[in-house]
Amino acid sequence: MQGEQTLRGTKPHIRIERDSLADRPAPAYLSKDAQEQWNRVVPILARRKILTEADVGCLENYCMAMGTVREMDREIQNVGATQKVYKIDKEGNSLLVSIRKNPAVSIRAEAMTQARLYAAELGATPVSRSRPTVGEDDEDDSDLFGWVESD
């Protein structure tokens, strides 16, 4: 079709913020489980020099998701992955009506998915760590998308 352009070639190298954050304490508003996760991963990300101020929100979300995973896992360990539903008949006998999945199982699964996605964004998964990154010598991103102005 005339007038349509397709972009071809390699993806552009996107410049990353190079001012990485040093180790910092967990925010007080995070749950105990989320704070423990923060204290575990922040030193690792700080040593890798990939944690920047722009990443803090993603890191908080990751820690909250992992905190939820831990909380729901304790709930499942305490009461089980299933819940029995009973009814009382006219004589006062308890009768098993059904067995259903503990809602904590679904909550934990969703939090695990969220945590995995945030971990990938933070470069905290094996696959995300294996991806190439922008080198220190890549200072010029004036042509970020490979578009060159013609005179």
Band (pLDDT 50/70/90 cuts) for residue 128 is confident
Contacts for 52 with CB less than 8 Å, ≥ 6 apart: 16, 17, 19, 20, 21
Which among 56, 104, 58 has a CA at the least distance from the CA of 81? Answer: 104
Q: Is 70 exposed, middle or buried (0-12, 13-18, 19+ CB in 10 A)?
A: middle
Q: Which pLDDT does position 19 carry in this prediction?
A: 65
- pTM (2 d.p.): 0.70
CA distances from 70 to 17, 28, 37, 46, 105 (A): 32, 18, 10, 24, 11
Distance CA(62)–CA(7), nearest Å, equals 34
Q: Which pLDDT does position 104 carry in this prediction?
A: 97
Q: Which pLDDT does position 73 carry in this prediction?
A: 97
Q: Is 58 exposed, middle or buried (0-12, 13-18, 19+ CB in 10 A)?
A: middle
Q: Which pLDDT does position 144 carry in this prediction?
A: 41
Q: What is residue 23's three-state secondary structure?
A: coil
Neighbouring C-alpha atoms within 13 Å toward the C-beta of 52: 9
Instruction: Locate the domains of the chain by residue range.
Output: 32-130
Q: What is the pLDDT of residues 95-107, one digit of tens each?
A: 999 999 999 999 9
Higher pLDDT, 4 or 91: 91
- The string over 39-56, giving b where at least 16 C-beta atoms fall within 10 Å of a residue's C-beta and e elsewhere, is eebbeebeeeebbeeebe
